Structure 1
């Protein structure tokens, strides 16, 4: 508890304390108490349209990326769960994108998606899918979709690994009994596999959602401070570093913390709700 208080509690308390002041990065030692002005004042975070734009971007990013990663991770996990001589090699290969540091993978994809020199545009033009190079990370209509897909490529192996571990816990007797009774594969999946692995999948979704709500590196590396892709973490960084407004940035960081806490509580409440019998 002492270690947790030192590592997590003290920085959080200090951030909340700074959010109640007019502290600036250039003069951090001289600041005064302003109460909730950084939250609900005339120039407070909650009155800033850019903050709410960042909130919307973050929630949409989280919902889209987590949904795609869960579906793809489930499919990959079920494929890897089948006996095969190459199963160990395939499991190791699937984890390669997840093992690459996010900043490195984001920079790698930035070059691959470059509008003039990127290999993605070159390949798509070679097969006739596009007529001219696309600005994947500069075009406001494409940049958000691009970062979602890059994040899905990066984190799907994490979901696949957790779901694969859950599939290992399904008793083989259930599958043998279903095979003897001639149960169709879809019913086996929906009535046996899915109910058993559902709690583990829910935990994986919670972990991934919490991580997605804090997304910063992939967005900042690929699109910087673009309004179309700005997340809550990028907004916090902009206030703290670019504008040097420690009080405003701390208020935004505090709101981000409580948003993550609220989503965590909501996920836990849903996952603990009793499942209704399916007719």
Structure 2
């Protein structure tokens, strides 16, 4: 009887999974397969039906393009710096919101505001605020006597990457706060109370208790943010279009596909982006599993 019930549950599970599987195949696997196929052709976007197979020529063209490696460098710099800052800030803010402070509920709601604003809207908002002529940031700096004239934040090749990272940190730190705060709330308060009774100082409680128990939550948060940062497109593109100083691998693929109408080369670049993200995901997941195994 139990075996019959198990088979029935197995069939029911597959029936529930079939719609989800069909949707994934339709919106993810099929476009990915088409992109992978066109990456081996010399097709152009204006007439995708007229093409021939060129093998790995498109992949070679991408990796021998100087602009591609500039995009890779920009993407990695953006990812490492922004995710590191967001993780540190997210941890600090989560610890603050987890403590018994006045107005904690209001602060938790307010911290979500930057994350709730659409990326394009937030980017344009910061672009206006950073304008060298009428931007409020330059007005404040001039009023404080820190600058003599307005700074062209988004037009300066040496400042634009910092601006992109700053805006991303402002928008995405709340995401890290939410995930880390959820992990904090799973830790039993009795553990901290016992450690405090034993006379363990606050910094040691954080280093020896809080941080080790938060590692799974922090690891998941970092995984999601790294994968998202590696695919970053809208923030840099809205702020600086195809500026080489902040061009990411996604912007590079978009330019080859849309601006140059090169469906084959653009698909190859998109495939390289997919492989890069997949490789980083495998590495991070492997590190998380190893950490869990050694921690166990």
Instruction: Give the TM-score taking structure 1 as reference length.
Output: 0.96
Q: Which of 225, 228, 233 is 2:242 aligned to?
A: 225
Q: Which residues of structure 2 form unaligned runs of 5+?
A: 1-20
Instruction: Give the counterpart of 1:79 among 96, 113, 117.
Output: 96
Structure label with greater radius of gyration:
2
Match of 1:109 among 101, 105, 126: 126
Q: 2:281 aligns with which of 245, 252, 264?
A: 264
Corresponding residue SS for 1:134: coil
Say yes or no: does 1:32 pair with 2:49: no
Single out whichever of 73-82 and 130-139 deviates more from structure 2: 130-139
Match status 1:62 vs 2:85: no
- Helix, strand or coil at the partner of 2:159: helix
Partner of 2:29: 9
Whole-angstrom distance in 1 between the partners of 2:85 and 2:220: 16
| Number of aligned residue pairs | 275
Does residue 154 (structure 1) correspond to residue 171 (structure 2)? The answer is yes
Between the aligned partners of 2:98 and 2:291, the Cα distance in structure 1 is 28
Shift of residue 276, structure 1, vs aligned partner: 10
Higher mean C-alpha displacement, 56-65 vs 83-92: 83-92
1:145-178 per-position Cα deviation (integer Å, ceiling 9, x unaligned): 0000000000000000110000001111111111
Q: Distance in 1 between matches of 2:247 and 2:153?
A: 16
Q: CA deviation at 1:277?
A: 9.1
CA-based RMSD of the aligned residues comes to 1.4
The structural deviation recorded for 1:275 is: 7.2
Report the alpha carbon displacement of residue 240 of structure 1 after superposing the two structures with TM.
1.0
CA separation in 2, counterparts of 1:19 and 1:242? 17
Counterpart secondary structure, 2:149? coil
Normalising by structure 2, report the TM-score. Answer: 0.90
The correspondence of residues 127-206 of structure 1 with structure 2, limited to 5 A, is 127-206=144-223
Q: 5+ unaligned residues in a row in structure 1: which ranges?
A: none
Query: What are the Cα deviations for residues 110-159 of structure 1, in whole angstroms up to 9, with x where unaligned?
Result: 00011111111111111122222111111000000000000000000000
1:124 aligns with 2:144: no
Q: 2:43 aligns with which of 23, 35, 46?
A: 23
* Secondary structure at the counterpart of residue 186 of structure 2: coil
